[in-house]
Amino acid sequence: MAVLPQDKIVAVIGAGTMGAGIAQVAAKAGHQVLLFDAVEGAAQVGIERTAKGLDKLVQRSKMSEQDRDALISRLQPCNSIEDLAPAGLVIEAIVERLDIKQQVFSRLEELCADDVILATNTSSISVTSIGAALQRPERLVGMHFFNPAPVMKLVEVISGVATDAEVAQTVFETAAGWGKLPVMARSTPGFIVNRVARPYYAEGLRVLQEGGADVATIDAIARDCGGFRMGPFELMDLIGHDVNYAVTRSVFDAYFQDPRFTPSLIQQELTNAGYLGRKSGRGFYSYAEDAPKPEVMTASSGQMPEKIQVRGNLGVAEPLVALAREQGIEVDRSNHQKVGSIQLDGLLIALTDGRSATQISAEQQQPNVVLFDLALDFASCNRIALAKSDQCSAEAFDKAVGLFQALGKQVTVIDDVPGMVMMRTVAMLANEGADAVNQQVCDAEAVDIAMQAGVNYPRGPLAWAEAIGLEWVVNTLENLAAGYGEDRYRVSPLLQRKVFSGQGFEFNNA
């Protein structure tokens, strides 16, 4: 069996937002869907809510009335779990409790045919642990959708220790047939997305904790420089700090308190205070109607230079040279230096490599050092983040600000924290993705697909690391590890190996 035949009945347990959404996806694909919820009447309510959502699509001419009616006709509410006996695939989307999931699947084993596929939508519980209570654990697989299920493309297909490879492949092909982007992963804490995504929150929180920049400024850097749809604090407020903090704690504990996943005291305090984000009206931001819009730190006008010297190749930041020329700035180039930098009247301007500007200033015995942060696309981004060494004069720094403003960038000044905001975040995302591959959780392509399709990252972290240069990423991590003296920033062995071999990651779509 490759794809679940369309004439096979799909059952969904749990009629909340996620369960009803999964039922809609299966029904849209042509399956008869049985929807059951332990709360009386909830299944019917879930179907009615789905119908209202489809009505809006019809009104916007994104769906025909005939297709809407046909989809709804394939959704059948059930009053008892016994009604699910005819199903060929049962997807559970209920409370995240191991004992309850085990009870439900054990009952399904009694009711359904021996060849039924049992799938759990769990985002955090081990598929292996759920299957340990079953008579046929080889028929159990993770099928983790992302909310809202009808919209989000990603489905993580998770194999427990006992999961039959053919069962996992069938679910993978079925998800693809339903219009999703499935990825295969092994049952490990956080699977792919909830594991690899931890640094996006953690590094923003770390910069905030160290006074590198305020919440609104860090979010603006993530959006305007990094190309992320939402900054880490906006996203945490949307998810809910109780949920986000709990996931971080869960991953931290599941990996035996690995410091890479250490939760933030700041987020713990927000959770303890009940400042949970949008749903409570207050988190990092206030959501009161009269709440003022927080201001992003943006530098005032600086002095535009007439000439700059570019020493070596700027790598991922090379588009800045073309921008300078377009603005009529004279560029004097020399390529004898391995590490690229911009020289401007005794001022050294360079891409951050995980060291602070102050450290570089001391090491090179050059007082005026300014670092700029990573951007997704230096040619098109409208903001750049700068940090200056403690030794840097105000006059010299004003020239750096003026240069980037002349290149069409808003300049945001942050404190001199190692790795700044985007560079340390992307380096850690890539490091975690590489470790997932190294530990046989998934392949490199699955990491990048998962992070783009599951949480809307602007680029897969491993492909992004290759664009920066894997050696630069490793140097950044090593400098962060040396500066902080923490195992948190240890380099993945696979990332090191790629640098030593000079080979990149393997992507099937490359």
447-465 pLDDT, tens digit each: 999 999 999 999 999 999 9
Per-residue pLDDT at 3 exceeds 70: yes
Region 109-134: what's the mean pLDDT? 96
Domains 10-187 and 194-293+421-510 share a fold: no
Domain boundaries, the chain: 10-187, 194-293+421-510, 307-413
- Evaluate whether the domain defined by 194-293+421-510 bears CATH number 3.40.50.2000: no
What span, in angstroms and rounded, lies between the C-alpha atoms of 423 and 444?
Answer: 20
Alpha helices in 352-443 (DSSP H): 357-364, 394-406, 422-438
169-193 pLDDT, tens digit each: 999 999 999 999 999 999 999 999 9
What span, in angstroms and rounded, lies between the C-alpha atoms of 337 and 344?
Answer: 16
Percent of the chain with pLDDT over 90: 96
What span, in angstroms and rounded, lies between the C-alpha atoms of 462 and 445?
Answer: 8
Q: Which two tokens stand for residue 474?
A: 């490793």
Consecutive H or E run containing 230: none
Per-residue pLDDT at 112 exceeds 50: yes
Per-residue pLDDT at 336 exceeds 80: no
Region 84-109: what's the mean pLDDT? 97
What span, in angstroms and rounded, lies between the C-alpha atoms of 390 and 463?
Answer: 34
> From residue 156, how far is each of 3, 7, 485 by CA, in Å?
16, 24, 35
Q: What is the mean pLDDT of the chain?
A: 96
The per-residue pLDDT for 510 is 41
Q: What is the CA radius of gyration of the chain?
A: 26
286 vs 507 pLDDT, higher one = 286
DSSP structural state of residue 223 = I
Cis peptide leading into residue 305 (ω within 30°): no
The per-residue pLDDT for 481 is 98
CATH topology assigned to domain 307-413: Transcription Regulator spoIIAA (3.30.750)
The per-residue pLDDT for 39 is 96
Residue 357: alpha-carbon gap to chain centroid:
28
- Evaluate whether the domain defined by 10-187 bears CATH number 3.40.50.720: yes
Residue 172: alpha-carbon gap to chain centroid:
21
Region 83-99: what's the mean pLDDT? 97
Matching residue, tokens 């299957």: 131
Matching residue, tokens 């070596």: 312
Region 397-408: what's the mean pLDDT? 96
Dihedrals φ, ψ of 506, to 5°? Answer: -95, 120
Consecutive H or E run containing 164: none
DSSP-derived 3-state class of residue 334: strand
Residues annotated as catalytic (active site), given as ranges: 123, 144, 156, 194
Task: Provide the edge-to-edge strand list for the sheet that holds 154-159.
Answer: 75-78, 33-36, 10-13, 89-92, 117-120, 140-145, 154-159, 181-186
Per-residue pLDDT at 137 exceeds 70: yes
First to last CA, the chain: 29
Q: Is the dihedral of CA 55, 59, 65, 71 positive or negative?
A: negative
23-58 pLDDT, tens digit each: 999 999 999 999 999 999 999 999 999 999 999 999
The per-residue pLDDT for 42 is 97
What span, in angstroms and rounded, lies between the C-alpha atoms of 258 and 195?
Answer: 12
Region 56-62: what's the mean pLDDT? 96
- Count CB neighbours of 97 within 10 A: 11
The per-residue pLDDT for 1 is 57
Residue 365: alpha-carbon gap to chain centroid:
39
Region 144-171: what's the mean pLDDT? 97
Q: Which of 88, 63, 68 is nearest to 6 (CA)?
A: 88
Q: Is the dihedral of CA 149, 151, 152, 156 positive or negative?
A: positive
The per-residue pLDDT for 509 is 55
pTM summary value: 0.95
Mapped to the 3 state alphabet, what secondary structure does 52-72 carry? HHHHHHHHCCCCCHHHHHHHH
Region 395-408: what's the mean pLDDT? 96
Q: Is the dihedral of CA 475, 476, 479, 485 positive or negative?
A: negative
